[in-house]
């Protein structure tokens, strides 16, 4: 393995990433940020679709790819060919983790299923991401995050009461599945290497796009089971706490959450309406949720008389929990983001100096690092195939010519 600047808490873990698009890729991006050696495999002819996403530079470089592909060494390999399969298994021999997100059955058809992988490396942890999971009557269907956001219950609950179900403006299902994939991978590494009785063996982790998003509705399976409760759309409000909303101000909008009784009382005094505290409609959180229209009307009548900055200053002086509504330009300018170095600058050979989000969260002793941004298609072929697998120059050229690599 070539020398790397990055160390971090995952230094020493080797990840073979066969996943494309977002769900697996975001999980392995985070692993790379914190020191793992991530080797990403793309098809020789067609690179990851994220490379073609909009917001490109004048030279045609996708900025989404620069972010999602950072800290990964990129190689090309035709996994569907026999020689490609053999090379993939060579790469897996000393890997800790293998990510894939093909339609269930594809890896088995290529001779790269769990049995094939564990035959060459019984310690390998195979992480499989798919729309519906590896089992069940829908498992063979193709699945994208948009569909998962629909059938997970998320779109039904999102939006305003008088509007249609609303999809998120980001790839929420993919990003949520990535977080579950990452945490489950580290659980499996712990069990294999450090648990009460370390097994020294890998296993298969099956992550659907649907289930992680549904899991965020904690308490609602139980509520449906006992009460047939179904969450309905509440806009910016919360179905279980009040007040919690985005409120219009004289020059924009602000956020506030005050479901805790003491915080609610501080808000009532701050907006010069202490009588709300003794109003039976707002006596506690339950009654406030039942009478949220009237409560929000009282609060917004006050916020509309003040600019966002004025309203926040007054409410914060009374120890309320409030904030502005930012766009990305505001994030760039915010002193808190700046003080925490949440956005860093990285030099890239393709696009020059580029700002990107810093690794999150922050570690006191083994911090993450962005060593480089998303590399070119097949940029690390020679480094991996010749430098690590010991492939001869002649063999490398032959496989390149044949379209295997």
Q: What is the pLDDT of residues 117-171, one digit of tens each?
A: 999 999 999 999 999 999 999 999 988 999 999 999 999 999 999 999 999 999 9
Determine the average pLDDT of the residues in 87-100. Answer: 98
| % the chain with pLDDT above 70 | 99
> What is the pLDDT, as a whole number, of residue 331?
97
Does the pLDDT value for residue 1 go beyond 80? no
174 is catalytic: yes
pLDDT higher than threshold 60 for residue 2: no
Nearest CA-CA partner of 154 in 231, 243, 96: 231
- For the chain, the average pLDDT equals 96
CATH, domain range 244-324: 3.30.1540.10
- pLDDT value of residue 143: 87
Average pLDDT over residues 74-91: 98
List Cβ<8 Å contacts ≥24 apart for 213-221. Answer: 213/148, 213/149, 213/152, 213/153, 213/154, 213/172, 213/173, 213/176, 213/177, 214/152, 214/153, 214/154, 215/180, 216/154, 216/176, 217/153, 217/157, 220/153
Identify which of 184, 201, 20 has the alpha carbon closest to the alpha carbon of residue 117. 201
pTM for the predicted model, two decimal places: 0.94
Confidence of residue 3 (pLDDT cuts 50, 70, 90): low
| Residues 210 and 131: beta-carbon distance below 8 Å | yes
Read off the pLDDT band of 215 (50, 70, 90): very high
Q: Are strands 72-76 and 37-42 parallel, antiparallel or unpaired?
A: parallel
Indicate whether 68 pLDDT > 60: yes
pLDDT digits (tens, 9 = 90+) for 14-29: 999 999 899 999 999 9
Report the chain's C-alpha Rg in angstroms. Answer: 25
Q: What is the pLDDT of residue 7?
A: 87
Inter-axis angle of helices 308-317 and 261-270, to 10 degrees? 120
The CATH number of 14-215+341-401 is which of 3.40.50.10540, 3.90.930.12, 1.10.260.40, 3.40.50.1110? Answer: 3.40.50.10540
Catalytic residue from among 17, 48, 78, 174 = 174
Domain boundaries, the chain: 14-215+341-401, 244-324
For residue 340, pLDDT beyond 90: yes
Tell the residue number behind the tokens 């044949």, with chain if given. Answer: 402
Q: Where are the beta strands (DSSP E) in 244-320?
A: 244-248, 253-257
pLDDT band at 367 (very low <50, low <70, confident <90, very high): very high
State residue 6's pLDDT score: 79
Q: What's the mean pLDDT in 322-345?
A: 97
Burial 138-159 (b: 16+ CB within 10 A, else e): ebeeebebebbbebbbbbbbbb
pLDDT of res. 4: 64
């Amino acid at each position: 393995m070539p020398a790397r600047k990055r160390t971090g808490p995952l230094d020493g873990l080797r990840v073979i990433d066969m996943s494309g698009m977002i769900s697996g890729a975001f999980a392995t991006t985070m692993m790379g940020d914190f020191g793992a050696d991530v080797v990403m495999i793309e098809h020789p002819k067609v690179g990851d679709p994220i490379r073609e996403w909009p917001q490109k530079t004048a030279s045609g470089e996708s900025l989404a790819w620069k972010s999602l592909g950072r800290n990964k060494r990129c190689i090309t390999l035709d996994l569907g060919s026999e020689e490609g399969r053999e090379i993939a298994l060579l790469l897996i021999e000393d890997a800790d983790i293998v990510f894939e997100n093909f339609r269930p059955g594809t890896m088995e058809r290529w001779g790269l299923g769990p049995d094939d992988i564990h035959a060459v490396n019984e310690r390998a942890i195979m992480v499989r991401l798919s729309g519906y999971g590896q089992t069940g009557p829908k498992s063979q269907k193709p699945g994208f995050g948009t569909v998962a956001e629909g059938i997970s219950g998320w779109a039904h609950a999102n939006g305003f009461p008088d509007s249609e179900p609303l999809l998120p403006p980001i790839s929420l299902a993919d990003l949520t599945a990535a977080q579950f994939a990452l945490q489950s991978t580290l659980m499996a590494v712990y069990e294999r290497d450090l648990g009460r009785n370390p097994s020294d063996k890998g296993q298969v982790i099956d992550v659907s796009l649907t289930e992680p998003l549904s899991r965020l509705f904690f308490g609602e399976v139980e509520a449906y089971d006992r009460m047939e409760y179904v969450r309905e759309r509440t806009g910016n409000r919360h179905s279980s706490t009040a007040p919690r909303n985005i409120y219009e101000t004289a020059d924009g909008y602000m956020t506030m959450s005050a479901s805790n009784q003491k915080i609610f009382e501080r808000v009532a005094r701050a907006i010069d309406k202490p009588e709300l505290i003794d109003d039976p409609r707002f006596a506690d959180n339950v009654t406030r949720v039942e009478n949220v229209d009237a409560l929000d009307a009282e609060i917004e009548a006050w916020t509309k008389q003040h600019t966002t900055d004025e309203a926040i200053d007054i409410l914060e002086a009374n120890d309320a929990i409030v904030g502005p509504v930012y766009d990305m330009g505001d994030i760039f300018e915010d002193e808190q983001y700046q003080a925490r170095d949440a956005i860093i600058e990285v030099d890239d050979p393709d696009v020059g100096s580029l700002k990107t989000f810093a690794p999150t969260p922050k570690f006191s002793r083994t911090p993450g690092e962005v060593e480089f941004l998303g590399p070119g298609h097949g940029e690390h072929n020679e480094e991996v195939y010749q430098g690590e697998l010991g492939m001869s120059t002649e063999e490398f050229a032959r496989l390149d010519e044949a379209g295997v690599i």
